[in-house]
Every structure is written in structure tokens, then in C-alpha cells.
Amino acid sequence: MIVDEDNIISKCQNGDAIAFSFIVEEYQQFVYNLALKMLNDVGDAEDIVQDVFVKVWNSIKLYSAEKSKFSTWLFSITSRTCLDHLRKRKSTVKVSEEQLSEYHNIQQSAVDKLEHRDAIQLIKTLSDSLTPTQKLVFVLRDLEGYEVSEVVAVSGFTEKQIKDNLYLARKSIKAKMSKLF
Amino acid sequence: MKEDWSDREKEIVDKLRSVKFIPDSAEELQRKVLSRINTKEKPDSRFIGWARIAAGVLIFFLVGTYVFEEGFTHYSRFKLEGSLLKTDYFSGRSENCKDVIQYYLSVNSRFNLFGQSRDTVLLSQADVAFLKELYPDSGLRIDEFMNAMKKFYPLDYARFRSGDVVELNVNTLKNDTRLCELLVNTKY
């Protein structure tokens, strides 16, 4: 967290773009990481980072530290932006059986040394059949390690919606894993 | 309902969780973000925004004024013509008298021969010639009207004959019973 983040946010709320650059510098990696795990495409993730920070800049006057932590507010914007992007991207290319078979060869050592590029591909392979909501819940809960209450705050879904979607997401991913490993 | 991971699955999920993706060029990405924000914040953009609003308001007022003027003009014209052609005005007089004066005034109304105050009729020799040409059948009526004018408004008629534009009061024409009687008694 940035030292004296409240002061920097206050400056941003008064239109200080230089102060905002500290916010971008501090959080862009987190936004990018979440976006890439959601979208599994480097170009899309970079676009999302830009869109998210432009949205944050345009609506930062609405942010209130009394209502939520800044990071929670930022990630909720990121989540919604990613969800919108996934919903628009209707023509999702499903992972074929041939592509699945490529992962049969991943051995214990290979998983240990998983390269970033392979990780993106593996997440994509495992989660390609999930709905956008299932994917968001799976990424936040299992790939980012958020508590359910945090997922509620970031996604805006109810606890029941999260549990139901997480159950379906895990079931689908377990089925994929059983074919892969 | 609970769908927990097996050890192997948990290991893979944990591994994926531990991966933290970092943009290849964080600085470049940051520059792009700030560039988009600054572009949006340029004073020129704000000025263009205000200029658009001002232009919108101006157009609104111009259109509003035009519509009001048009409406008001039509309303005034309708009101005046209504009062001029109102048959009750001539109640108590013969139908012929009513017809002649009403006809004459309606013709004037139709061809905008009214004066600026719209309670007078502007009449010149050219107007009379124009009306006769336009309504050849009513030439006689117009001649009779000119005779009435000669008899009852000799000064105006003299000015009319000398080529001046004569301004006749509409109310006077309508209320002058001498004029009315003369026109009614004329055989045409």
C-alpha cells in the first residue's frame, strides 16, 4: 500500500493527475494479474488495465473510504469490466480435445516449473467452459485466494450466488483436470 | 454441495494461485493510461464541451424565437381576419351590404394590403388595377367602392387620384353606414 494513500486519493479527487500516476503504478500489476487470469489474453488484459484506470479516474470523486477499502473498490471495477468483456466475447473458442491432450504430458516437475505462458494456457484450458460469473468466482476465490466475504464485496454477488457458482466451476474444472492429469 | 479438491488438484490450483502475472512493460502501460486520462482532461476538450452546450442553448433560443414569432404572427392575423370577417359585426344591415364590405376587406386581407398597424387598408391606383385584373368579375364592385370613396372621403379620394397611397381605417369603413347603404342600393 502507498504511504499516505488517503492523501493521494484526496489529491486525485481534486483532479491531480500526477497523484493518480502513483495509484496506477501501485495497482496496475494487481489489475493486470486479475484481468489476465480472467481473460487469458495478454492484449485483452492490457486493454482492461487501461479501461479500468480510466473508469477509476472518471469516478474517483464517488469513492468513499468510509464505505470500502480503495483496493476493494478498484477490484470491483476490474471485476465488472472483465465480466462485461467476457460477456461481449461470445464467440469463445472452446479448447479442443487435441489441445487437451497436450497437457497429458505435464508431469509433476512441469507443474512445479510452470511458465507464465503455460499458466495462462492452463487456466484457459481448465476454465474455457465456465460462464463469466463462474469464472470470476473461481478466479477470485481459488486463483486469488479471496475469502468469500471479500468475493462478495468485490463481485457484488450474494454469498449464495458465489457458493453455487463456485460449486459448478470446481466441478467443471475437476472434470477437465481428470482428463489432463 | 461441497466440491473440494483432491491433493493433486489442490497442488495445481495452488501453483496457479502462486503465479502472479506482471505486464511486460509496466511503464509503457502506465504511460498509456496517463495519456488517455490527460487527453480527456485537456482544456481544449473542456472548451469544446462548453462551446457545444452554448451552441445548443443558442440554437434552442433561435428556434424558440422563430417558432414564437411565426405563431404570434399567425395568431394576430387569424384574430384580425376573424374580427374583420365576423358576420355579426354587420348585423342589422342587408346581406348585400355585408357581402360587399366583407368581400372587399377579405380581398385586402388576402393580399396583404393592410397597413403596418393592421387596422388600416393601404390603397393605391396600382392596387385597384391589380385587384380588378385579378378579379375581373368584381371590377364593378370595386368601381362602386371607389365612387363611395369619392363621395364620402373626397380628400382621400383626391390623394388617391393624384397617385398617393391612401390609408383607410378599417373600423371606419365597416361602421360607416353611408358607405354601406350606397353599396347596397347600387345595382350591379
pLDDT digits (tens, 9 = 90+) for A23-41: 999 999 999 999 999 999 9
Q: Do A114 and B16 touch (CB under 8 A)?
A: yes
> What is the 8-class DSSP label of residue B169?
E
Give the residue with greater pLDDT, A97 vs A55. A55
User: What value does the mean pLDDT take over residues A97-125?
Assistant: 66
pLDDT category of residue B144 using cuts at 50, 70 and 90: confident
pLDDT value at B169 more than 50: yes
Interface TM-score (ipTM) > 0.90: no
**Averaging pLDDT over each range in A4-8, A133-137, B13-17, B81-85, which range is the top one?**
A133-137
Q: Which one, of A42, A52, A60, lies nearest residue A82 by Cα? A: A52
What does the block give as the cell for B131?
385587384
pLDDT in tens, B58-73: 999 999 999 998 888 8
- Note whether A113 contacts B: Cβ–Cβ < 8 A: no
pLDDT category of residue B156 using cuts at 50, 70 and 90: confident
pLDDT category of residue A3 using cuts at 50, 70 and 90: low
| Sign of the dihedral through C-alpha B174, B177, B182, B184 | positive
SS3 content of chain A, % helix, strand, coil (to 5): 75, 0, 25
What does the block give as the cell for A145?
485466494
Q: Reduce the DSSP state of residue B61 to 3 states and report it.
A: helix
Quote the percentage of chain B above a pLDDT of 70: 58
Give yes or no for a contact between B33 and A28, defined as CB atoms under 8 angstroms apart.
Answer: yes
Give the residue with greater pLDDT, A7 vs B175. A7
Quote the percentage of chain B above a pLDDT of 90: 8
When scoring B16, B17, B18, B31 by the number of chain A Cβ atoms within 10 A, the one with the most, hence best to mutate, is B16
Q: Which residue of B has its CA nearest to A145?
A: B17
List C-alpha distances in Å: B40 to A9, A21, A80, A129, B52. 19, 15, 22, 38, 16
Chain A residues with CB-CB distance to B17 below 8 A = 142-145
Give yes or no for a contact between A71 and A52, defined as CB atoms under 8 angstroms apart.
Answer: no
Q: Which residues of B touch A (CB under 8 A)?
A: 1-3, 5-6, 8-9, 11-13, 15-17, 19-24, 26, 29-30, 32-34, 36-38, 40-41
List C-alpha distances in Å: B34 to A53, B28, B38. 9, 10, 6
What b/e sequence results for A153-166 when a residue is b if at least 16 CB atoms lie within 10 Å of its CB, and e otherwise? bbbebeeeebbbbb
Q: Which of A21, A29, A145 sits opposite B34 (nearest CB)?
A: A21
Chain A residues with CB-CB distance to B22 below 8 A = 29, 32-33
User: What value does the mean pLDDT take over residues B168-175?
Assistant: 70
Q: How many CB atoms lie within 10 A of CB B89?
A: 16
* B139-152 vs B95-110: helix crossing angle, rounded to 10: 100
Q: Do B17 and A116 touch (CB under 8 A)?
A: no
> What is the 8-class DSSP label of residue A142?
I
- Note whether A171 contacts B: Cβ–Cβ < 8 A: yes
pLDDT in tens, B81-92: 655 544 443 444
| pTM (global) more than 0.90 | no
Q: Which of B26, B33, B38 sits opposite A29 (nearest CB)?
A: B26
Average pLDDT for chain B? 73
